Amino acid sequence: MTEIEIGQRRLKAQITGKLRDGDWDYRESKSITLETDYETAASLFQNGAAWAILVPCQPVEDPDTGEMVTPEPIRYDNSAFLVAGDITDHRDGTITVKMGRLTALEETLELIYGGDET
């Protein structure tokens, strides 16, 4: 199963994406559905959060030993999706979190005025 890596944690998740999310200023977005509670999701998925999608690999035979080995999952960095969006509690033990890219306007404003100074 696909996992995400965020805040030194690995969580099983289902991920979908939109190139132009009409519900969110037409920004590119990802929706991450996972089994957790609202508070945990809100603490992990914040603006600027670095996260990655981990896709499992199929076991392969080691040519030296003949044993089946499972390679490390393929890691897809999603740090560009750094804008925290809505968190939806489905009331079945799952939460969906939206993370989005900056819009062209937001990128331009960041270039002109600089980023957040925290």
Q: What is the pLDDT of residues 10-19, one digit of tens each?
A: 999 999 999 9
In a domain, 31, yes or no: yes
Residue 118 lies in a domain: no
Q: Is residue 65 domain-resident? A: no
Query: Residue 66 falls within a domain, yes or no?
Result: no
Cβ distance 37 to 95 under 8 Å?
yes
What residue numbers bound the domain in which 9 lies? 3-59+71-113
Residue 10 in any domain: the answer is yes
Q: How many domains does the chain have?
A: 1
CA atoms of 29 and 11, how far apart (whole Å): 19
Among candidate residues 5, 11, 9, 10, the one with its CA nearest the CA of residue 94: 11
Tell me if 19 is assigned to some domain: yes
> What pLDDT is recorded for position 57?
94
pLDDT digits (tens, 9 = 90+) for 30-70: 999 999 999 999 999 999 999 999 999 999 999 999 899 99
3-state class of 52 per DSSP? strand
